Amino acid sequence: MDQNKIPEAPRPPGRRAAPRSSGWGKRLALVCGLTALALGGGAMLLTLFLGGKQPPPPVTFSYRDQILTAIDGLAVNRYGTKGFSTDPLGRVSYERDGLLAKAGIDVSFYQGEIDWQAVAADGVDFALIRLGYRGYTEGGLFLDSFYKANIQGALEAGLEVGVYFFSQAITPQEGMEEAQFVLDALADCDITYPVVFDWEPITPGNGARTDGLDGQTLTQCAVSFCRTIQEGGYQPMVYFNQDQGYLTYDLTQLDQWPFWLAEYDQIPGFYYHFDFWQYTHTGTVAGIQGEVDWNLDLRPTALPEEPEE
């Protein structure tokens, strides 16, 4: 636009125009301006001379219809996509430099009686077994009716065994209570795999006491559960899907423990690091009637830690 044709901006209503500056005032203003410019230029040259850099722009990534900013300091997913493969049965495997992820399933009373010897012979290395759950309406604590038989059967079949608790905690105190409930039930069980905090939202309209629970409170429930489990001598782990991982949990408060990701696909796209991956809930395996969840334990393929800059 031609600057000579820009009309003078009207003065704000109710305010008088500033008085004209004297010649001395103009010279003083000019000297001050030049001094500030010189100081600013000197500071810039000093910054360049000392090797100073402008901070890089934040890293972003897309999730569905949202652009999310990456959490600084949180480890990212470094699993090579070429390492994943899917067989004709829909089972996914992962290999890195000759190292193989372990294959496993997770089960509860919904799978009924299980032939664990047949399961072990069908390529299963580990099992994560539901030990119990909290009711989502009244909040009572209950044992899974098949947990003892499943733990015993899986151990006798030579599988690595861990357990999960279906949480509906709404306070950190309830998270601690659930963990103690698990520890009491595990007193006579010899498991080597993680003890998992599995909190899942209930479909709206079912009268769940967890409706509307905020992410910060849920994160503190998970922290309380995991700390109690760790103090009891077991390895805690936190289960979540992508929505919970990106939009609900504060992962910076949980990353001291392994993550178990639920993302149903042939290659996981979750941005941050995770150790276990549940890739389908419609799998099949010998020894179990009906569908079952399949998982990978990716820890055997872990890359060495990147050096800090």
Q: Give residue-wise pLDDT tens across range 247-306.
A: 999 999 999 999 999 999 999 999 999 999 999 999 999 999 999 999 999 999 998 865
Confidence of residue 35 (pLDDT cuts 50, 70, 90): very low
Residue 1 scores a pLDDT above 70: no
User: What does the angle CA 75 – CA 281 – CA 238 come to, to the nearest 5 degrees?
Assistant: 35
List the domains of the chain with CATH numbers: 60-301 (3.20.20.80)
Beta strand segments in 135-272, E: 141-143, 160-167, 195-199, 236-241, 259-262
Q: Rounded to an integer, what distance in angstroms lies between the CA atom of residue 177 and that of residue 173?
A: 6
Q: Rounded to an integer, what distance in angstroms lies between the CA atom of residue 58 and that of residue 180?
A: 41
What is each CA distance from 180 to 62, 81, 226, 227, 282, in whole angstroms?
Answer: 39, 39, 10, 11, 32
Q: Which of 55-59, 149-153, 242-246, 290-294 has the lowest mean pLDDT?
A: 55-59
Structure tokens at 273: 């690091």
What is the reported pTM? Answer: 0.82
